[in-house]
Amino acid sequence: CKRKEKAAVVSQEQIAENIYSMWIQTEEISDFAVPGQFISMYTEDQSKLLPRPISLCEIDREKKRLRVVYRVTGKGTGTEQFSRLRPGESIQILGPLGNGFPMEPGTGKKVCLIGGGIGVPPMLELSKQLYAEKQLVMGYRDELFLTEEFEKNGTLYIATEDGSAGTPGNVMDAIAQKGLSPEVIYACGPAPMLRAVKSYAEEKHIPCYVSMEERMACGVGACLACVCRTPEIDAHSQVHNKRVCKDGPVFLSTEVEI
Ligand code: FAD
Ligand code: FES
């Protein structure tokens, strides 16, 4: 049910250094969106043809609004252009894209939702919608964001690389320090974090769903720019690659090589 829409900006707020939160008014995209999906956001600049994939941080079906929380990666970038949009201005978006997190495996269980860096935002809508005993483990370099929202939806554990809040170190250090023992894991974050979470889950023999980040072009499964490797080999000894944009971005950790 993906569609292209011109969405109106409802609000734009800087919530940490280089991190912005934007609510947009959609026509229909929010009706179908689920946690873990993303939208492709287009810039006005003709020199930047490719859209930017950004995860859904919150979905407000009633008001038909979506929230994205994104990092401005540098000067002259598409994300910097997004941060200049003001309420009332509009932005082209395509979505909802990707598969989203499966809810059923975690329902009623003791689950750990793990977010790292710019992988933190998609865990917010998941924490709101998942009916489970939720341990929310969020890892930051230094400055925190979205923590008040997370506290409303589960028990929050923080890790910071500079040791300024919570457990000093990364999300795995927080899990060890707090003695957490989840039955199911959902995670989104940088590759080294996902690699550590995947090996922890496989050691403990628990299901673990990881949301992967790959550079994308079309965002809809047509160009193969975003493939990741899987351990599967077919009858012709060919390695099976998966498209992060269409087959993912969420995969069972045992299905992908990170
Ligand atoms: P530019 O340097 O102008 O980008 C140049 C090109 O490279 C663009 O086509 C851009 O899309 C692509 N590109 C550059 N870095 C990345 C990257 N890390 N991943 C994918 N494409 C990249 N970031 C957030 O801040 N918040 C999110 O919620 C978020 N969710 C994401 C969900 C998915 C499924 C993916 C794949 C990425 C997500 N990202 C998110 C990363 C975000 O897409 C990039 O930071 C962004 O595209 C960079 O664009 P730019 O205009 O700042 O940089
Ligand atoms: Fe084109 Fe994934 S970005 S197939």
pLDDT at 44: 84
pLDDT tens digits along 2-41: 999 999 999 999 999 999 999 999 999 999 999 999 999 9
Of 7-21, 161-175, 225-239, the one with minimum mean pLDDT is 225-239
221 CA: nearest ligand 2 atom: 4
Per the listing, tokens 């040791």 go with: 163
pLDDT, tens digit, 9 for 90 and up, residues 37-62: 999 999 987 667 789 999 999 999 99
CA of 215 to the centre of ligand 2 (A): 9
Q: Which residues pair with 7 in a beta bridge?
A: 91
Ligand 1 center to residue 241 CA distance, Å? 21
HSE-CB for 114 with a 13 A CA cutoff: 31
Band of the pLDDT at 237, cuts 50, 70, 90?
A: low
Confidence of residue 234 (pLDDT cuts 50, 70, 90): low
What's the rounded Cα separation, in Å, for the pair 86 and 97? 25
Is 243 near ligand 2, meaning CB less than 6 Å away?
A: yes
Q: Are residues 84 and 136 in the same domain?
A: no
Q: Token pair of 69, please? A: 């929380």
Best of 213, 218, 251 for a ligand 1 pocket test (most atoms within 8 Å of beta carbon): 213
- Are 113 and 219 in a shared domain? yes
Decide: 9 in ligand 2 pocket, CB within 6 A: no
pTM attached to this predicted model: 0.95
Residue-number span of the structural domain to which 130 is assigned:
104-255
Q: How many angstroms separate the alpha carbon of residue 59 from the centre of ligand 2?
A: 24
CATH of the domain at 44: 2.40.30.10
Q: Are 192 and 236 in contact (CB under 8 A)?
A: no
Atom of ligand 1 nearest to the CA of 97: 34
187 and 114 Cβ atoms separated by less than 8 Å:
yes
- Are residues 162 and 70 both part of a single domain? no
Asked whether residue 216 falls in the same domain as residue 200, the answer is yes
φ and ψ at residue 184, rounded to 5 degrees = -145, 145
Residue 235 has pLDDT above 70, yes or no: no
For residue 66, report the distance from its CA to the centre of ligand 2, in Å.
Answer: 23
Mutate to test the pocket of ligand 2, among 212, 226, 241, 247 (most ligand atoms within 8 A of CB): 226
Split into its structural domains, the chain has a count of: 2
Cβ of 216 below 6 Å from ligand 2:
yes
Same domain, 77 and 133: no
Nearest-atom number in ligand 1 for the CA of 81 is: 51
CATH number, position 217: 3.40.50.80
- Using CB atoms within 10 Å of the CB of residue 231, give its burial: 0 to 12 exposed, 13 to 18 middle, 19+ buried: exposed
- How far is ligand 2, taken at its centre, from the CA of residue 91, in Å? 21
Which ligand is in closest contact with the Cα of 216? 2
The CB of 55 under 6 Å from ligand 1? The reply is yes
Answer yes or no: do 113 and 65 share one domain: no
Domain final residue, candidates 38, 72, 97 = 97
Q: What is the pLDDT of residue 240?
A: 77
My answer on whether 157 and 142 are in the same domain is yes
Shared domain for 193 and 87, answered yes or no, is no
Task: Name the domain boundary from 80, 97, 114.
Answer: 97
Phi, psi of 174 (to 5 degrees): -65, -40
Q: Do 92 and 108 belong to one domain?
A: no
126 and 237 in a common domain: yes
219 CA distance to ligand 2 middle (Å): 5
Closest CA to 72 of 60, 62, 85, 81: 81
Query: Can you list the positions of beta strands (E) in 79-178?
Result: 90-97, 110-116, 133-140, 155-160, 167-168
